[in-house]
Amino acid sequence: MAHLTTIAKRSYEEVKIGDTAEITKTITEADVVNYAGIIADFNPLHVNKEFAEKTRFGQRVVHGMLVASFFSTIVAMCIPGYNALYLSQEAKFVKPTFIGDTITARAEVIEKIDEKKRIILKTEIYNQRGELVVTGKAVTMLMD
């Protein structure tokens, strides 16, 4: 993953429509095992290699919410960053992500609601082949 060592600190007024941010991460077996343990989702499609090889995917599929969780990283660290509150996330899982895939999560500011200091983001994740794997929309706000 791109090592994010600083949190963006922009005011609501400094965030502009069209602003973008992205992070990249290669999903490892350890990521999947740790995530399964944290949320107690041990579906064999995710954690059992022999089982997953017999499915139409031919290999283990990364938990969709693990993949989508990188939208949270963008909200917390990039757009809007410091003092952000994540209000909602729509997510459509378009293609599976597999262990070893390198994903790039991207967000773009597409709308601002001034009265409530809300920021609407178009959110997408692509794999290393440039294939869209998750698409959606996030709603965030900056706390005063």
pLDDT in tens, the chain (144 residues): 455 668 899 999 999 999 999 999 999 999 999 999 999 999 999 999 999 999 999 999 999 999 999 999 999 999 999 999 999 999 999 999 999 999 999 999 999 999 999 999 999 999 999 999 999 999 999 987
- The number of angstroms, rounded, from the C-alpha of 81 to the middle of its chain's C-alpha atoms is 15
- The number of angstroms, rounded, from the C-alpha of 70 to the middle of its chain's C-alpha atoms is 3
User: Which one-letter amino acid corresponds to residue 85?
Assistant: L
Q: Can you give the CATH number for the domain in which 75 is found?
A: 3.10.129.10
Question: Does residue 5 sit within a domain?
Answer: no
Question: Does residue 106 sit within a domain?
Answer: yes
Q: Give the helix, strand, coil percentages of the chain, each rounded to 5.
A: 25, 35, 35
Question: Does residue 67 sit within a domain?
Answer: yes
Domain count across the chain: 1
Question: Does residue 94 sit within a domain?
Answer: yes
Question: Does residue 78 sit within a domain?
Answer: yes
Question: Does residue 65 sit within a domain?
Answer: yes
Structural domain range at position 53: 12-142
